[in-house]
Structure 1
Amino acid sequence: MKLSMFDDFRLGVWARDDSIVDVTRVLPETARPSDRMSALIADWARVESEIRDASRSTGTPRSQVTFRAPQPRPSKILAAPVNHGPHREEMIAAGAFTDVPGTIEKYVAFLKAPSSIVGPDGSIEHPDPTRRIDYEAELGIVIGAPARQVSRENALSHVFGYLALIDVTMRGDEDRSYRKSFDTFTPLGPAIVTADEIPDPSVLELELRVNGRLRQKGRVADLIYDVAQLIEVYSRAMTLETGDIIASGTPDGVGPLTPGDEVSLEVSQVPPLTIPVTARDPLHQPSAPATQ
């Protein structure tokens, strides 16, 4: 199934004709809009059959709804640095590392602020015209059952679903988590595809376009740490909570974004994400000094 948040953070399931059926009624009334997807995932065993039945009906045409981020406030976003084989080779060739490997084997993970999430209804805000920001196409992995010290063999049983995710990055010398956590630097959506529809995520492919031109093309099969290994490694250090998101790592072809661009990410079997790039209001530009 494909699940989205739309309009005033109502819960929708995609019908067979790709219209959106409102199933907000299955959620507890106490769930805040930002917590609704996590509440749904936690209660999935009880509500799945009702939502599946609803997906067989006809809803509102997609053109008539406003898609929000399907998971607007996970407890954390974990991201895998330089976790794609061709991207690692690209960075080594560019002299980005003083040691090899300077990749996931060494750095393991970084955190992105949940407040950096934006949905298809928003835009990527370029925060500073003197700085470069880049796109990075990634597969987003949404955690279902909490995972703590799980084995690689059992890791995929803790995945609720998958979505398209763009890891936006400001280039510079500051800490990686800072440069990747600006507001709007984690676009995702428009839908989570449940894991039963993608039993083997390694078959997925990613294509990212800027203004219609292909910039990145890669395969999940080329990840250095695959999806199951990421969950295994991260769950050794911290409990992965229901609704948490892991960003898989990006293929080669990373490049800059400027205001006026439109970015589109297609992940096979997952609804595509398209979002514009805008300039942040100059009154709200960051004031911290930076080295280019």
Structure 2
Amino acid sequence: MKHARVQVDGMVVNATERDGQVVLEDGRRLWQDQVTWLPPLAPVERPRTILALGLNYADHAKELAFKEPPKEPLAFLKGERALNGHRQTTRRPADVQFMHYECELAVVIGRKAKKVRREDAYGFIAGYTVANDYAIRDYLENWYRPNLRVKNRDGATPLGPWLVDTADIPDPMALALKTTVNGKLTQEGSTKDMIFDVPFLIEYFSSFMTLSPGDVILTGTPDGVVDCRPGDVVVTEIEGIGALMNTIA
């Protein structure tokens, strides 16, 4: 099932998807442009941990002039205010020369995970959604330790539209990804090309930290990133999960 959190008439409500429409808890069916979309994550009673991967696709590492892919996950933390919803806008600072999208599979943790074995990892996942983890190359000081302004800007990480149950995605490591800018295809890839796959990442992170329900892992992007300008409509899409639309302001 596909789940969402939306705002209707000033109220935040849970919703599901049916025939491309948004179905509210009271049974009303609305079109996607009739609601305000929020990240499809349930509220938590603590700071949400958002883990993000850099250079997790070999072709993207090569695109950025790395001689060889990383030997260990290049991970960093992101604040929750960075998250944004479907059909929302993300601001491009006026002084930058290169701001690009990053189409990423986002993994949402479903139960407390500590020292999880790789073969058990899928049992700790609530579902999957689409992320667009915008980056500003101008602010990048070191690929291994991204400057906070690169990855932690308010509203610069759209998430959604849907959170898809784990059971509905039999193999998250074989999903097609693509990005279009103003309707033009600019990026294509597959999750099968990740350097560190989802079970590995859950085993790796949970080996030294506790993952809690609602935490999110952004798993990186393939090659094909291009500069995005104000007014551009960017759609990041993952097979079986959904198409996340965002406009640059």
- TM-score of the superposition, structure 1-length normalised? 0.76
Asked if 2 retains the 8 angstrom alpha-carbon contact of 1:112 and 1:177, the reply is: no
Q: 1:131, CA displacement in angstroms?
A: 4.2
What secondary structure, in the 3-state scheme, does the structure 2 residue paired with 1:188 have?
strand
Look up the equivalent residue of 1:155 and give its one-letter code: A
Note if 1:142 corresponds to 2:145: no
Q: How does 1:150-229 map to 2 (within 5 A)?
A: 150-171=116-137, 172-173=140-141, 175-176=145-146, 178=148, 179-229=150-200
Contact 1:19 1:58 in 2 (8 A): no
In structure 2, the partner of 1:258 is: 229
Structure 1 contact 148–239 (Cα < 8 Å) conserved: yes
Q: Which amino acid aligns with 2:25?
A: V
Does the residue aligned with 2:38 lie in a helix, a strand or coil? coil
Unaligned stretches of 5+ residues in structure 2: none
Determine whether 1:12 maps to 2:34: no
Distance 1:22 1:254 in 2: 35
2:167 and 2:100 mapped to 1: Cα distance? 32
2:220 equivalent in structure 1:
249
Helix, strand or coil at the partner of 1:217: strand
Q: CA deviation at 1:122?
A: 2.0
Name 1:80's counterpart in structure 2: 53
Counterpart of 1:237, as a letter, is F
Structure 2 counterpart of 1:62, one-letter code: Q
- Higher percent of residues as helix: 1
Structure 2 residue matching 1:162: 3-state secondary structure = strand
The alpha-carbon deviation at position 203 of structure 1 amounts to 1.9
Deviations 1:261-286 (A, max 9, x none): 110011100121111000xxxxxxxx
Trace 1:88-103 onto structure 2 (pairs within 5 A).
Answer: 88-91=61-64, 95=65, 97=66, 100-101=68-69, 103=70
Compared CA separation, residues 11 and 154, structure 1 to 2 (3 A): same
The Cα shift of 1:221 comes to: 0.5
Q: Which has the higher strand share?
A: 2
Residue in 2 that maps onto 1:31: none
Q: What one-letter code is carried by the residue in structure 1 that aligns with 2:193? A: D
Q: CA RMSD in A?
A: 2.0
TM-score under structure 2 length normalisation:
0.88
Q: Distance in 2 between matches of 1:128 and 1:109?
A: 28
Of structures 1 and 2, the larger Rg is shown by 1
Does the CA contact (< 8 Å) of 1:85 and 1:224 recur in 2? yes
- With CA pairs under 8 Å and 6+ residues apart, which has the higher RCO, 1 or 2? 2
**Structure 1 residue 235, shift from structure 2 partner:** 1.0
Instruction: State the Cα distance separating 1:139 from its structure 2 match.
Output: 0.6
- Kept in 2, the 8 Å contact 1:68–1:121? The answer is no
For 1:181 and 1:9, the matched residues in 2 are separated by 25
Deviations along 1:185-219, one digit per CA (max 9) or x if unpaired, are 11111110110100210121100011111111000
Query: What is the one-letter code of the residue matched to 1:14?
Result: E
Match of 1:130 among 83, 96, 101: 96
Query: Do the aligned residues in 2 keep the contact of 1:19 with 1:60 (CA within 8 Å)?
Result: yes
